[in-house]
Structure 1
Amino acid sequence: MSYDLVIKNGLVILDSGEIQTDIGVNNGVIVTIGSNLEGTKIIDAEGLIVSPGMIDAHVHITEPGGGYRGEWEGYSTGTASAAKGGVTSFLEMPLNQIPATTNGETLNIKYAAGEGKLKSDVYSYGGLVPYTVNEGGIQELDEGGVIAYKCFMATCGDRSIDGDFMNVDDYSLYEGMKQVAKTGKILSIHAENARITDRLGEIAYKNNETTLKAYVATRPVFTEVEPIQRAILFAKETGCRIHICHVACPEGVEAVAKARQEGVDVTCETCTHYLYFETEELDAIGPVVKCSPPIRDKKNQDGLWKQLLAGNIAFVTSDHSPCTPDLKDKENAFEAWGGISGLQNNVDVLFDEGVQKRGMSLKQFAEVIATNVADRFGIDNKGRISVGKDADFVLIKPDAPYTLQAEDLEYRNKISPYIGREIGAQVATTILRGEVIYSQAEGVTKDFPGEFVKIQSKNV
């Protein structure tokens, strides 16, 4: 039998572990896994690792920009960088676009903005903000197909911009959790104590502190752990399924692991940059590496790796949060935009740092970039290489160091803290539903085969 596409001779990561085998694809779906397969199109993966395509569970695209953020990151450049980085799908956050995605109308505005511009698949988040709990926004977003909801316990948004995102207070978090629980979907939470971190930041700024090291000190570990614990308590009370975003300290992971043992439906993620950078190097790099929660010290980084390898962190994300260069080009780190452009360098950096340098198994690598995301968010047709799943793959060239240059980036604004760093592995090919969307030979596809994927209401 002949197949539309056969990937031959690769080391394929299956649920049971890696095996040298072929994969047969018809109509964008995996139909067989075995030896000596023949197809209309053949991709020879000899010497390459064949992994499920990454599902990046935390990405910000700022289209539409609403006249404020139109130059930050669009769908065409964002999904192109995903393709080049081995990301076949991503979950898009309900902010920093204008208007923020907080009800049915704004969700449709976002869908329209990305129509015909997607090179990878995109799942949309809905936002939990104080006013949505009184205006039916949670229900509208559920009916519109959002995959999950997002809220900020940290201060966020620009109050001078009509339609920008805003953080929750305790009451709107509690009431919002009750409403999200009825949808059966997950509430993802940015957990930092707003009142303490805001005040510490104000004091440092007035004292003429300007460094990234000083910025990190204004967001100490306990200001991350306390709201995680508070969110878990609210989840116990409301029955809401929750996920803690971008945990930057092992103590936060420990709080989640303890709650899981007690039966709370909670998971957490960390980000590639927390596993790669540490506080002492931040000021040498500059504000391009500023984010929140902040990048902590080497002890924290080592603790996160221990938690990840132990299986207590469900998956790793980019938290791709780009902006224009002028918002990063600040003498005072406290004045710089807090967000890192990292979508294109998740797979290669994590493979190098995890598999090649720390002995992470290939099976766990596939789990933390794809399988666990699909399982957590109910993405039934993606996340693993098995018959019946979408033919979404990333082919990785191991032990192939290269130095990232700005011109390598597909972002609208070619800024990234990884520029100039030697990365010990390369993304060779990315395939979405059987279609090559990136190869080293041809670059990123000029087509737009990606889709907005809508998740049916669960209404429990």
Structure 2
Amino acid sequence: MHDLVITSRRAVLPDGERPAAVAVRDGRITGIHAPDAAPEAAERVDLGDVALLPGLVDSHVHVNEPGRTHWEGFASATRAAAAGGVTTIVDMPLNSLPPTVDVPALEAKRAAAAGRCAVDVAFWGGAIPGNLAHLRPLHEAGVRGFKCFLSPSGVEEFPPLGAAELRAVMAEIASFDGLLIVHAEDPELLADPAGPGYAEFLGSRPGESERRAVERVIALARETGVRAHILHVSSALCLEPLAQARREGVRITAETCPHYLTLAAEQVPEGATQFKCCPPIRGEANRDELWAGLAAGVLDCVVSDHSPSTPELKVPDFAAAWGGISSLQLGLSAIWTEASRRGHGLGDVVRWMAGAPAALADLDGKRSGPGPGGKGSIAAGNDADLVAFDPGAAQTVDAAALHHRNPVTPYHGRTLSGVVRTTWLRGRAVRDTPHGNLL
């Protein structure tokens, strides 16, 4: 007797989309069956034409707890994740206080998260000037990799790495085959905005700053052999050097975000600082090129870079407001809206938003084997992290109704395609009582 069998005429599986019955026992998927050959189960759910997806993995989430829980916290962030079909998040090492740059800080973060998470949570560590000796202990304590900045982060407790520091960090992480994830903007090409509007803000962070920083990371990854990942690519100027590096065998991957794929600079309303993020949302032609890079596999992942703040920090203008987009609950629907319009299927979305982020953070069980893994696909042996997603339904976003702690999002008032009906974490529907694990 199984605990649960979920049947759908649109199950999105590693080998394609087809009718299937997914059987679950003790929190894991035991098998994928034809709908008319499903085993007996204590609970049966028939989704009909509602699609069954693997739970998404969002490897770029700023939870901010402890220290800045009034911006976002584990309880609110993970509720938002579950409502958006995300069953695993990987928490960034900033903007919490203290940042996750040594083992005691990681323990403080785990203590803050314990018992409060509606979905599973893993953690990134941080690489900053002066913490080189803490990287290996953090790796051994279970962080999934290390984040660094090449330009100012926006918070003084997480400064950027200089050229010599970056090389030393890469060599150290390569020594234990870890992963370095990089906010890649060249500070020499950044400037203070020349005025309060979006055009001036966009002009202060040109795409060439991203490309030059990406080229620097590629050169050092080639030299040191480290695994490196470029965060939140917003400029299509990065695509050519990334593609060339991969052809040469450099161990480098890259991601982009829903806001870069669904929003455009031409659409930013006057004074709408909820659209401000770093690097910035660029023009429509650039957005089309990012989609082409995603389709070609130059960009691997689509993740939220959920970086919330209080409404008071999003004023008074684009020069002064906090740069961060709140979208954790909306990423799946936002991407499906645009992806379906461009001819992509649910299988593509699952690859970008579940499989690739799970592999990046070593949560798919393929690098390190059984344990905290088995995420990102509907396959026998994996955790039964599943999502009922109605791709034909529509929703109009009301920021005040979202589970994020603060009602600030550029998607407010937009109509998106696709609605999450139910999210299961290890075979249990996510309800009011949190049952997420710390990975």
Common topology (TM > 0.5):
yes
User: Does residue 134 of structure 2 align to residue 137 of structure 1?
Assistant: yes
In structure 2, give the amino acid aligned to 1:44: D
3-state DSSP class of the match of 1:400?
strand
Does the 8 A contact of 2:54 with 2:378 survive in 1?
A: yes
Counterpart residue number, 2:209: 223
2:409 to 416, 421, 425: 416
How many angstroms apart in 2 are the aligned matches of 1:190 and 1:369?
Answer: 19
Counterpart residue number, 2:235: 249
How many angstroms apart in 2 are the aligned matches of 1:41 and 1:388?
Answer: 19
2:148 to 142, 147, 151: 151
What are structure 1's unaligned runs of at least 5 residues? 438-444, 454-460
Give how far 1:183 is off. 2.2
User: Does residue 386 of structure 2 align to residue 393 of structure 1?
Assistant: yes
TM-score, normalised via structure 1 length: 0.91
User: 1:359 and 1:285, CA in 2 relative to 1: closer, same or farther beyond 3 A?
Assistant: farther
Counterpart residue number, 1:42: 44
Seq. identity, %: 37
In structure 2, give the amino acid aligned to 1:145: G
Does the 8 A contact of 2:189 with 2:206 survive in 1?
A: no
What are structure 2's unaligned runs of at least 5 residues? 366-373
Give how far 1:313 is off. 1.1
Structure 1 ranges of 4+ moved more than 3 A: none
User: 1:70 and 1:378, CA in 2 relative to 1: closer, same or farther beyond 3 A?
Assistant: closer
How many angstroms apart in 1 are the aligned matches of 2:124 and 2:137?
Answer: 12
In structure 1, give the amino acid aligned to 2:78: T
In structure 2, give the amino acid aligned to 1:77: S
Counterpart residue number, 1:375: 359
Counterpart residue number, 2:321: 336
Counterpart residue number, 2:425: 432
Give how far 1:9 is off. 2.8
3-state DSSP class of the match of 1:96?
coil
Does the 8 A contact of 1:285 with 1:417 survive in 2?
A: no
Does the 8 A contact of 2:8 with 2:52 survive in 1?
A: no
TM-score, normalised via structure 2 length: 0.95
3-state DSSP class of the match of 1:401?
strand
User: 1:349 and 1:158, CA in 2 relative to 1: closer, same or farther beyond 3 A?
Assistant: closer
Give how far 1:5 is off. 0.6
How many angstroms apart in 1 are the aligned matches of 2:413 and 2:271?
Answer: 10
Does the 8 A contact of 1:406 with 1:414 survive in 2?
A: yes
How many angstroms apart in 2 are the aligned matches of 1:87 and 1:50?
Answer: 13
Counterpart residue number, 1:57: 59
Give how far 1:96 is off. 0.3
Does the 8 A contact of 2:422 with 2:429 survive in 1?
A: yes
1:10-29 deviation per Cα after TM superposition (whole angstroms, max 9, x unaligned): 41111110111111000110
In structure 2, give the amino acid aligned to 1:362: L
1:372-392 deviation per Cα after TM superposition (whole angstroms, max 9, x unaligned): 122233211111111000001
3-state DSSP class of the match of 2:410?
coil
Does the 8 A contact of 1:7 with 1:23 survive in 2?
A: yes
Give how far 1:401 is off. 1.4
How many angstroms apart in 1 are the aligned matches of 2:118 and 2:95?
Answer: 20
Give how far 1:155 is off. 0.8
Give how far 1:154 is off. 1.6
Give how far 1:427 is off. 0.9
Give how far 1:364 is off. 1.8
How many angstroms apart in 1 are the aligned matches of 2:20 and 2:55?
Answer: 17
3-state DSSP class of the match of 1:375?
helix
How many angstroms apart in 1 are the aligned matches of 2:104 and 2:188?
Answer: 32
3-state DSSP class of the match of 2:100?
coil
Counterpart residue number, 2:331: 346
State the Cα RMSD in Å.
1.2
Does the 8 A contact of 1:400 with 1:425 survive in 2?
A: yes
How many angstroms apart in 2 are the aligned matches of 1:240 and 1:278?
Answer: 34
Give how far 1:282 is off. 1.7
Does the 8 A contact of 2:12 with 2:51 survive in 1?
A: yes
How many angstroms apart in 2 are the aligned matches of 1:49 and 1:255?
Answer: 37
1:313-356 deviation per Cα after TM superposition (whole angstroms, max 9, x unaligned): 101010000000000131x21100000001001111111211x2
Give how far 1:212 is off. 1.3
Alignment of 1:158-237 (within 5 A): 158-159=155-156, 164-197=157-190, 200-201=191-192, 204-205=193-194, 209-237=195-223
Give how far 1:32 is off. 1.4
Does the 8 A contact of 2:59 with 2:361 survive in 1?
A: no
Give how far 1:73 is off. 0.2
How many angstroms apart in 2 are the aligned matches of 1:171 and 1:16?
Answer: 45
Counterpart residue number, 2:119: 120
Give how far 1:285 is off. 6.5
How many angstroms apart in 1 are the aligned matches of 2:347 and 2:419?
Answer: 18
Counterpart residue number, 1:100: 99
User: Does residue 349 of structure 2 align to residue 365 of structure 1?
Assistant: yes
